[in-house]
Structure 1
Amino acid sequence: METQQITIPIRPKRKFVSENLIIDSWEKIESLFDNLVEREISNVAELEKWMLDRSELEAVLEEDMAWRYIKMNIDTTDKELGELFTFWIKEIAPKTAPYSHKLNVKLVESPFLKDLEKKKYRIYLRSVNKQIEIFREENIPLFTTMEQKQQEYGSISAKMSVEVDGEKLTMQKAAQLLKDTDRNKREEVFNKISSRRLQDEKVLDDLFDELITLRQQIAKNAGFDNYRDY
Structure 2
Amino acid sequence: MVSVEGIDARKWDQIQPVYQEFLEREIDSAEALEQWLLELGQFDAFVGETGSMLYVEMTCDTENEEIKQAYLDFVEQVQPELAKVGDLLNRKLADSPHADALDSVEYNVLLRDTRMDLALFREENIALGTELTKLGQRYNEICGAMTVDFDGEERTMQQMGKYLQVNDREVRESAYRAVGERRFQDSEEIDELFDKMVGLRHQIALNAGYENFRDYTFDAKHRFDYSPEDCESFQTAIEQICVPLMRDIDEERRAVLGLDALRMWDMGHDVKGRSPLQPFAEVEEMVAGTSRMFHRLSPELGEFFDSLRDGTSLDLDSRKGKAPGGYQLQRDHSRKPFIFMNATGLQRDLETMVHEAGHAFHSIYADHLPLVDYRSAPIEFCEVAAMSMELLTHDFLDEFYSPEDANRAVREHLEGIVSILAWIATIDAFQHWIYTNPGHTKEERHQQWIELGERFGSILDWSEFEEWRKVGWQRQLHLFSYPFYYIEYGIAQLGALQLWLQYQIIFVDVRDG
The reply to whether TM is greater than 0.5 is yes
* Alpha-carbon distance change, 18 to 154 in structure 1, aligned in 2, over 3 angstroms: same
Hey, what's the Cα distance between the residues in 2 that align with 1:35 and 1:17? 13
What residue in structure 1 maps to residue 167 of structure 2? 181
Query: Is 1:67 equivalent to 2:47 in the alignment?
Result: no
Secondary structure of the 1:128 match is: helix
Query: Is 1:166 equivalent to 2:162 in the alignment?
Result: no
Query: Is 1:123 equivalent to 2:109 in the alignment?
Result: yes
Hey, what's the Cα distance between the residues in 2 that align with 1:74 and 1:93? 21
- 1:98 corresponds to which of 84, 89, 107: 84
Counterparts of residues 13-32 of structure 1 (less than 5 Å): 15-32=1-18
Hey, what's the Cα distance between the residues in 1 that align with 2:103 and 2:61? 46
Could you tell me the TM-score, scaled by structure 2's length?
0.41
- Offset of residue 62 of structure 1: 1.6
Counterpart code for 1:66 = S
What residue in structure 1 maps to residue 99 of structure 2? 113
What residue in structure 2 maps to residue 146 of structure 1? 132
Q: Deviations over 1:7-62 (max 9, x none)?
A: xxxxxxxx314133222421010001101111100111110111011111211122
Conservation of the 8 A alpha-carbon contact between 1:178 and 1:189: yes
Could you tell me the TM-score, scaled by structure 1's length?
0.89
What residue in structure 2 maps to residue 6 of structure 1? none
- 1:81 corresponds to which of 47, 64, 67: 67
Counterpart code for 2:132 = M
What residue in structure 2 maps to residue 228 of structure 1? 214
Secondary structure of the 1:152 match is: helix
What residue in structure 1 maps to residue 121 of structure 2? 135
Gaps of 5+ in 1: 1-14
Conservation of the 8 A alpha-carbon contact between 1:17 and 1:56: no
Query: Is 1:34 equivalent to 2:31 in the alignment?
Result: no
Hey, what's the Cα distance between the residues in 2 that align with 1:26 and 1:109? 26
Q: Deviations over 1:162-182 (max 9, x none)?
A: 122112221122234323333
What residue in structure 1 maps to residue 42 of structure 2? 56
Hey, what's the Cα distance between the residues in 2 that align with 1:76 and 1:95? 25
Counterpart code for 2:115 = N
* Alpha-carbon distance change, 44 to 152 in structure 1, aligned in 2, over 3 angstroms: same
Q: Deviations over 1:91-123 (max 9, x none)?
A: 000111111001111101111112111111111
Conservation of the 8 A alpha-carbon contact between 1:177 and 1:186: yes
Hey, what's the Cα distance between the residues in 1 that align with 2:171 and 2:206? 48
- 1:205 corresponds to which of 183, 191, 198: 191
- Offset of residue 197 of structure 1: 1.1
Aligned-residue RMSD, C-alpha: 1.3
Secondary structure of the 1:181 match is: coil
Hey, what's the Cα distance between the residues in 2 that align with 1:66 and 1:177? 34
Counterpart code for 1:112 = H
Secondary structure of the 1:162 match is: strand
